Amino acid sequence: MNLLRKILRSPAACCGLMIILLLIICAIFAPWLAGQDPNWQNAAARLLPPESGHWLGTDAYGRDMLARLLYGTRPMLGMVLLVTAITLPIGLLIGILSGYYGGWTERVLMRFTDVVMSMPRLILAFAFVAMLGPGLINGALALALTTWPAYARQARTEIQKLRNSDYLSAAEMLGIRGFRLMWGHILPLCLPSAIVRLALDLAG
């Protein structure tokens, strides 16, 4: 309830929430909103401009662009959810462990992160798809496995600044250490910036 109140107080958050709800509605009600089969080809209706029968026109195969756009929200949202569920936990886990423990833990994890980050993301994703096979799930998995290093480095930088802060020192004085400290105190501090970065990356 408090989260909903905070969202309603922010015009930007309200706008973003409305856009997400609109996409979800389009995905759920695509068959009724589109009114046409998105894969139906009509050679006689190729490359038509927007008109009453085709609100966004047609493509080179005569397929209705509005129908394809509405049906496209389904795999798009599925890929976004899958990439988010993989990228964010892996990146934050490696970044928090590196920033909090430092030493050899940081060196090993960050060198592995640098190796993955140094490889061209798109080519690496193509290699994963070639090994795993085509498909939406494999494509999302390939993107997720090549995207997490940026989140790891960002989280590690933030934790390095916070590691010696009075906030974490006070928590440790109260006996909060290890996993409990990382989950309850460090993770909430890293999430806002990670979510902002994720929103920008998912559009790409």
Euclidean distance between CA atoms 49 and 4, whole angstroms: 42
- Cβ contact 87:198 at 8 Å: yes
Structure tokens at 65: 């662009």
Structure tokens at 113: 């992160």
List pLDDT tens digits, range 146-200. Answer: 889 999 999 998 888 887 778 777 888 888 787 888 888 888 888 888 988 888 8
* 0.85 surpassed by pTM: no
What kind and span of H or E run contains 110? Answer: helix 103-118
Cβ count within 10 A of residue 40: 12
Residue 1 pLDDT greater than 70, yes or no: no
- For residue 133, which phi and psi values (nearest 5 degrees)? 100, 160
Residue 16 pLDDT greater than 80, yes or no: yes
Domain with 198 in it:
2-203
For residue 4, what pLDDT is reported?
Answer: 72
Three-class SS state of 58 = strand
Sign of CA dihedral 46, 48, 50, 51: negative
For residue 3, what pLDDT is reported?
Answer: 66
Question: Which domain CATH number covers 55?
Answer: 1.10.3720
Residue 92 pLDDT greater than 70, yes or no: yes
For the chain, the residue count is 204
- Total domains, the chain: 1
List pLDDT tens digits, range 41-88. Answer: 988 888 889 988 888 889 989 999 999 999 999 888 888 888 888 899
Residue 204 pLDDT greater than 80, yes or no: no
Three-class SS state of 55 = coil
- Candidates 58, 189, 85; CA nearest to 143 is 85
User: Residue 166 carries which side chain, given as an amino acid letter?
Assistant: D
